[in-house]
Amino acid sequence: PGGKGSNALPFTAIAPVDALVDDMTVPQGYGWKPVIRWGDPIFRTSPAFDANKQTAAAQALQFGYNCDYTDVLEIEGSKGRRAVLFANHEYTNENIMVPPTTPAAEVRGIGKAAHGLSVVELERKNRNKPWSYVQGAPLNRRYLTTTAYEVTGPAAGSDLLRTKDDPAGRSILGTLGNCAGGTTPWGTILSGEENFNGYFVAAGTSDGDRRYGITSKPTARGWEIDEPRFDTRNAGYENEKHRFGYIVEVDPFDPASTPRKHSALGRFKHEGANVTVAADGRVVAYMGDDERFDYLYKFVSTKKVQPGSSPAARRANMTLLSEGSLYVARFQGNSVAEIDGTGTLPTDGAFDGVGEWLPLLVDNKSVVAGMTAAEVCVFTRIAADRMGATKMDRCEDVEPNPRTGKVYVACTNNTNRGVGSSAVADEANPRTQNRDGHVVELTEAGGNATGTRFTWNLLLVCGDPARNPSTYFAGYPTDKVSPISCPDNVAFDSAGNLWISTDGQPGTVGFADGLFKVGLEGAERGRVQQFLAVPRDAETCGPIIHDQDGTVFVAVQHPGEDGDWAEQASLFPDYVPLGGAPRRGEAALPRPSVVQVYRASEGRR
Ligand code: FEO
Ligand code: CA
Ligand code: CA
Ligand code: CA
């Protein structure tokens, strides 16, 4: 470890930033600049963003709100001068997006058109210059709630997915609650439909409704007022709620392609999915269900990956996630020590143990007694309950390290652990009322990603070590690390260091959320260094570490979300004062954006 990559991105850790600071903080010697902001026009015909006169029609032609997963993929043959940016749009903050005088139906339309996904082309003069987005570029695309997704896997065409509008149960309009994601080895993007339950009204009385948190209350955004499918009590739309909660796959290089929802990867509050190629050529996707006491999953494809990037190989690889085996994880600790989060290490000095991947589907056939394959795919949580999976502290991003194959699981927090009749702490989730979260390092037995046995240990038990004795940084001296809480997204640099972005630090350690580099090997193991901090009320999402270009990208999600129209809590990224006179293209409100951070010492900006 070490090597060219990490040397290309040297930095001195920033000090933690107070949660009330409304600024982007980057290390000394670095600058930052938005690549694209909410509302930026992406097609030739898109109107310019006008904060005071936003409309649903304009929003459908502009970049959406609250990005989570992002990636920047260079276009082959462009000599590093052109790329595509993928970003998803998880949810909206209508309270700070539009003037309160905006008619309610228009607000609903704007919010809806600001959901979904975007693909936008980028350009730069050379590798040492920041990227700009290209309005009207051929690959630019918005995926809206009117975009059709093809269903693959065992649930496709089943009774559980059929509706009045789609009697075949094979074509779904829209994607919702897209959180983290992953880029596949064949160059497509995966994005997880997470908190989809909040968009639906149902009777709320079935086992499925209860297990997925779908209730009879009107939804916060009220889309059921305009579209009967969002109230699944309406005749013909009973199954609409079963059509969300999947991993979607999109091809950012083909703007005419039909995106897909892969039912074989299960239905739950999908944080995201990250794919690795196993030694035998099958592909493995690791996935978390971001709910307190829910589970960690993996999918193993039946077929093997086709090498190369020819159109035929890509087409074949785009079918890999349609057929395979779905597993859920059971963890077992190996020590009998106090693991109550008071700072006492287990008797063997480590939070560690063994684990097993319990099959739910094998080659698209159910192995859960009393459930069909379609039922396993649609009611995956219920299938996993029956198999005795381990209840985790909210698995967010789960990603294998491309250098070592070890898998990193961000468990963001779980304040209900051990409260009332809830599950008590165990060695893999060692804290009662886990406010700060932890990071699991999982090693597949024999390095075989397709196998059913693994070992595991905790890399980090998060928090501010200056004020919290129950933190653990893999043995690294706790007075020499940056405090970190609520780990959410993970990424790796080219040297194999782990990078973690956080969501929730203001409420736990009192600092702004940020992005952190974590050493994994040798003397650096457990060394957490903060790279950046995001503005007020924002979480840090979608980190991309292009260390060999000296560039890091993050999505700044929901800046200023606790404010309101009259009193905006953040003015990121334009920082036009309230009541001030914006220059062309600027606005006195926060605009969630994808930001690039770059080494200023290389003559940039
Ligand atoms: Fe959308 Fe699990 O964070
Ligand atoms: Ca142990
Ligand atoms: Ca997340
Ligand atoms: Ca989040």
- What does the DSSP assignment read for 528-580? EEEEEE--TT-EEEEEEEEGGGTEEEEEEESTTTTS-SSS-S--TTT-PPTTS
Residue pointed to by tokens 């009385």 = 205
Q: What is the mean pLDDT of residues 261-283?
A: 98
CA neighbor of 437 nearest in space, from 355, 503, 389, 517: 503
Q: Is the pLDDT of residue 601 over 70?
A: no
Cβ neighbours of 254 (radius 10 Å): 14
Q: Is the CB of 586 under 6 A from ligand 1?
A: no
**What are the structure tokens assigned to 127, written together?**
């590798």
| 90 CA closest ligand 1 atom index | 1
Question: If you average pLDDT over residues 360-383, what whole number do you get?
Answer: 98
Helix/strand/coil percent split, the chain, to 5: 15, 35, 50
**3 state DSSP class of 489:** strand
Q: Quote the ligand 2 centre to 417 CA distance (angstroms).
A: 19
**Rounded percentage of the chain residues whose pLDDT exceeds 90:** 92
* Ligand 1 atom closest to 271 (CA): 2
Checking if the pLDDT of 548 tops 50, the result is yes
Pick the range with the lowest mean pLDDT from 18-32, 302-316, 588-602.
588-602
Provide the Cα torsion 182, 185, 186, 188; round to 10°.
Answer: 10
Q: How confident is the model at residue 123 (pLDDT cuts 50, 70, 90)?
A: very high
Cα angle: 133, vertex 138, 141; to 5 degrees? 75
Ligand 1, residue 288: give the atom nearest the CA: 2
How far away, in angstroms, is 409 Cα from ligand 2 center? 18
What does the DSSP 8-state code read for residue 596?
E
Task: Decide whether any atom of ligand 1 lies within 6 Å of the 539 Cβ.
Answer: no
Q: Report which of residues 359 and 335 the model is more confident about.
A: 359
CA of 351 relative to ligand 2 center, distance in Å: 4
Residues at Cβ < 5 Å from ligand 3 ion: 179, 396, 488
d(CA 538, CA 531): 16
55 burial (CB, 10 Å; 0-12 / 13-18 / 19+) is: middle
pTM over 0.90, yes/no: yes
| pLDDT exceeds 90 at position 345 | no
State the ligand closest to the CA atom of 395: 1
Which residues sit opposite 434 in a β-bridge? 414
Query: Which residue lies with its CA nearest to atom 3 of ligand 1?
Result: 179
Average pLDDT, stretch 457-486?
Answer: 96
Q: What's the CA gap between 70 and 50, in Å, rounded?
A: 25
Is the CB of 179 inside a 6 Å radius of any atom of ligand 1? yes
Residues in CB range of 403: below 8 A, 6 or more apart: 1, 492, 495, 496
Using CA atoms, how far apart are residues 332 and 275, in angstroms rounded to an integer?
25
Q: What does the pLDDT average to over 121-144?
A: 96
Other CB atoms closer than 10 Å to residue 480's CB: what's the count? 13
Residue with tokens 């024999």: 446
Q: Is the pLDDT of residue 335 over 90?
A: no
Give per-residue pLDDT as tens, 520-534: 999 999 999 999 999
Which ligand has its closest atom nearest to the C-alpha of 503? 4
Report CA dihedral (174, 263, 92, 584) to the nearest 10 degrees.
-60
Residue 603 has pLDDT above 50, yes or no: no
Record the tokens describing residue 424, joined without a space.
Answer: 């008590």
Element holding 409 (H helix, E strand): strand 407-411
DSSP string for 352-377: EEEEEEEEEEETTEE-STT--HHHHH
pLDDT in tens, 186-231: 999 999 999 999 999 999 999 999 999 999 999 999 999 999 999 9
Query: pLDDT digit string (tens) for 390-448?
Result: 999 999 999 999 999 999 999 999 999 999 999 999 999 999 999 999 999 999 999 99
- Say if strands 148-152 and 260-262 run parallel, antiparallel, or are unpaired: parallel
Tell me how far the alpha carbon of residue 143 lies from the centroid of ligand 3, in angstroms.
Answer: 20
Question: Given the structure tokens 């065992």, which residue do they identify?
Answer: 154
- Looking at the CA of 177, which ligand is closest? 1
Residues 6+ apart with CB under 8 A from 42: 36, 61, 62, 63, 118, 120, 133, 135, 136, 140, 142
Mean pLDDT of 347-365: 95
Which segment of 116-120, 407-411, 419-423, 514-518 scores lowest on mean pLDDT? 419-423
Nearest ligand, CA 428: 2
Please, what is the average pLDDT of the chain?
A: 95
Question: How far apart are alpha carbons 221 and 94 in whole angstroms?
Answer: 9
**CA 578, chain centre distance (Å):** 32
What is the three-class DSSP state of 585?
coil
Residue 240 pLDDT > 50: yes
Provide the percentage of residues in the chain whose pLDDT is more than 70. Answer: 97
Residue 6 banded pLDDT, cuts 50, 70, 90: low
Q: Name the residue at shortest CA distance from atom 1 of ligand 1.
A: 179
Tokens 């589970």 correspond to 295
The stretch 2-20 carries a mean pLDDT of 81
437 alpha carbon – ligand 4 mean position (Å): 13
pLDDT at 1: 36
Assess whether the C-beta atom of 396 lies below 6 angstroms from ligand 1. yes
**Which of helix, strand or coil describes residue 441?**
strand
Centre of ligand 2 from the C-alpha of residue 441, in Å = 13
287 CA from centroid of ligand 4 (Å): 15
Q: Based on the number of CB atoms within 10 Å of its own CB, is 205 exposed (0-12), middle (13-18) or buried (19 or more)?
A: exposed
